[in-house]
Chain A
């Protein structure tokens, strides 16, 4: 059974930093691209970042480019999102999501972790 379990969310002040983790199991982690998707309270879904299966290629939404860094450790089956210079508008539930065999959509999602940026 595929499982994605996020952790690392919390409450922090603007300008702060946080690292999210996503522990994967039930599939060959190193074979799949992974993404982070976020959802602000009461709002829709927004793609944040993607990393190739090897970790060699990364992509970012313009809103987080230069502030967030996606990475992965295939030996630990874990995906990361390093978030720096956080802003109030980064407040959201952050989901990790697994890319499908059939295209760059998401066939499995984690339960999400809440990041709140507030003074």
Chain B
């Protein structure tokens, strides 16, 4: 199975900050990476796929990059509604595996 390691596990940031979350795969995944946002008590929501493609309707302050084994999610200017937990997921091979999550909290 491909292991996904996210960092940091949590971070504190202020509205307007630029935030970056990283995700490392245990082997190359050829950009087969998705990012999800989850708020407490709610189901996850897809933000990006193919490492950098924004799902329709997702604000452009969210962006993704990376290749091979290393990927990043960037929020260019954190908004109040962005405080949540973010997960990466590789879909290069089954079982699809998730990172352990990054909780973005208000500073």
Closest chain B residue, CB of each to CB of A99: B91
What's the Cα separation between A35 and B44 when bound, in Å? 14
Query: Contacts of A35 on B, CB cut-off 8 Å?
Result: 96
| Count class of interface residues, chain A | 20 to 34
Contact bitstring B5-48, A, C-beta under 8 A = 1, else 0? 00000000000000000000000000010101010001111100
Bound CA–CA A7/B88 (angstroms)? 27
Q: Which of A11-19, A23-31, A42-50, A68-76 contacts B (4 or more CB under 8 A)?
A: A42-50
| A47–B1 CA distance with the chains assembled, in angstroms | 12
- By size class, the interface of chain B is 20 to 34
A81 and B21 CA atoms in complex are apart in Å by 33
The winner among B50, B95, B98 for most chain A CB atoms within 10 A is B95
The verdict on A61 contacting chain B, using a C-beta distance below 8 Å, is yes
| Contact between B44 and A61, CB atoms less than 8 A apart | no
Q: Among residues 67 to 119 in chain A, which have CB atoms less than 8 Å away from a CB atom of chain B?
A: 95, 100, 102-112
Contacts of B43 in A (CB 8 A): 95, 109-112
Partner of B91, one of A61, A105, A112: A105
Q: With both chains docked as a complex, state the minimum distance between the C-beta of A107 and any C-beta of chain B, in angstroms.
A: 5
The reply to whether A104 and B94 form a contact with Cβ atoms under 8 Å apart is: yes
From residue A37, how far is it (CB to closest CB) to chain B in Å? 8
B49 within 8 A of A: yes
Question: 11 more A-B contacts (CB under 8 A) besides A104-B91, A111-B42?
Answer: A44-B87, A45-B38, A61-B95, A100-B46, A104-B32, A104-B96, A105-B34, A106-B34, A106-B46, A109-B44, A112-B43
Binding site for B on A (CB under 8 A): 35, 44-47, 50, 59, 61, 95, 100, 102-112
Residues of B with Cβ closer than 8 Å to A?
A: 32, 34, 36, 38, 42-46, 49-50, 53, 55, 87, 89, 91, 94-101
- Which 9 pairs across A and B sit closest by C-beta, in order of nearness? A105-B34, A109-B43, A104-B91, A45-B98, A105-B91, A44-B101, A47-B96, A44-B100, A59-B94
